[in-house]
Amino acid sequence: MINLKNVTFKWHKSDSSPTLNIKGLVIEKGEHIFLHGPSGSGKSTLLAILAGINTATSGDVTLLNQTLNKLNNTKRDIFRADHIGIIFQNFNLLPYLSPLENVVLGCQFSKSRQQKALSQSATLNTEATQLLNALGLTEQNHNKNVAELSIGQQQRVAAARAFIGNPEIIIADEPTSALDTQNRESFINLLFKQANNSNSTLVFVSHDETLKPLFDRFIDLISLQEQV
């Protein structure tokens, strides 16, 4: 599913040591991975490489049998749009779109996700509505101004946007750091439920180790990079 082999990454060619150095990382389909790393451990870099926004300086990054570093920029952008859903830390909705429109946006840059969404519902809007309902955002909030939603509600919308059109991989970058403990757990459980529903692989990144017990598998980024 996700396979990293001898991956290094340098921001600049002149950098003496790489920002990221991973000998091997394999993630199976449908796994819920907790990727832990304190700030500065190369978390954001790894995510950017997984999402195909940056390419590895050396080594191979293979997702769904596609070697990302062998694709050109446009193909990588299309690959991301088709197969990866991303949830950010906070405030990750477009302020000028309604919650519903924000969700639909998730499949508007990808034909294949649009088709998948339409194979499940008659219109993109119905699919988005169903997802929002499933993630616990009541319908009266679907067309509100985004700014009127609480952070927790905004994260649900962001999650729905990541899940629409059933992408194979969901990357969540510190999605719970703005939530309190109680909301954190319920949000993560919603993510699990939705990931199971759509059979997606979930890569959850955080510096907060207290979340560790909730996940199938725990990977520590620092020890991962120390492997020889």
Partner 1 sequence: MILAKLAYKSLLNRRASVLLTLFTIAISVMLLLSIERVRIDAKSSFSNTISGTDLIVGARTGDIQLLLSSVFRIGHTNNGVSWKSYQYITSQRGVKWSIPISLGDSHKGQAVLGTTLDYFNHYRFAKKQNLTFNKGRPFAAINEVVLGSEVATKLGYKLGDNIVISHGMGNTSFHHHQDNPFKVVGVFNPTGTPVDKTLHIPLAAIDLIHGGKASLEHEHEHDEHNNLTGHPKQVTAFLMGFNSPLYMLQIRRNINQYKPEALLAIMPTVTLKELWEMLAIVEKTLLLFSFVVILISLLGMLTTLLANLNQRRRELAILRSVGARPWQLFTLISMESLLTTLLGCVVGCALFYSTLFLGADYLQSHAGISVNIAMLSRYELTLIGVIMAAGFIIGLIPATRAYFYSLSDGMSIKT
Q: Which residues bind partner 1 (CB under 8 A)?
A: 44, 47-48, 51, 53-54, 73-74, 77-78, 80-82, 86, 88-89, 91-97, 101, 105-106, 108-110, 161, 173
Give min distance, CB of 35 to partner 1, in A.
15
Q: Is the dihedral of CA 145, 129, 158, 63 positive or negative?
A: negative
Output 114 or 194, the one with its CB closest to partner 1. 114
What is the distance between the alpha carbons of residues 135 and 205, in angstroms, rounded to a whole number? 20
Minimum distance, C-beta of residue 77 to partner 1, in the bound complex (Å): 4
* Contact present, 22 and 225 (Cβ < 8 Å): yes
Residue 182: CB minimum distance to partner 1, A: 25
Q: Which is nearer to partner 1, 75 or 212 (CB)?
A: 75
**Distance (Å, rounded) from C-alpha 173 to C-alpha 156?**
14
Q: Which is nearer to partner 1, 24 or 53 (CB)?
A: 53
**Taking the complex as a whole, how short is the minimal distance between the CB of residue 114 and partner 1, in angstroms?**
11
Q: Are 155 and 127 in contact (CB under 8 A)?
A: no
Q: Cβ distance 125 to 100 under 8 Å? A: yes
CB of residue 109 to partner 1, shortest distance in Å: 4
Residue 25 CB, nearest distance to partner 1 (Å)? 19
Shortest approach of partner 1 to residue 18 CB, angstroms? Answer: 17
Residue whose CB is less far from partner 1, 27 or 158: 158
What number of CA atoms fall less than 13 Å from residue 158's CA on the CB side?
25
CA–CA distance, 26 with 62 (Å, rounded to integer): 10
69 versus 214: smaller Cβ distance to partner 1: 69
For 101-134, give one letter per residue: b (16+ CB within 10 A) or e. bbbbbbbeebeebbebbeeeeeebeebbbbbbeb
Nearest CB to partner 1, comparing residues 22 and 84: 84
Q: Which is nearer to partner 1, 84 or 211 (CB)?
A: 84
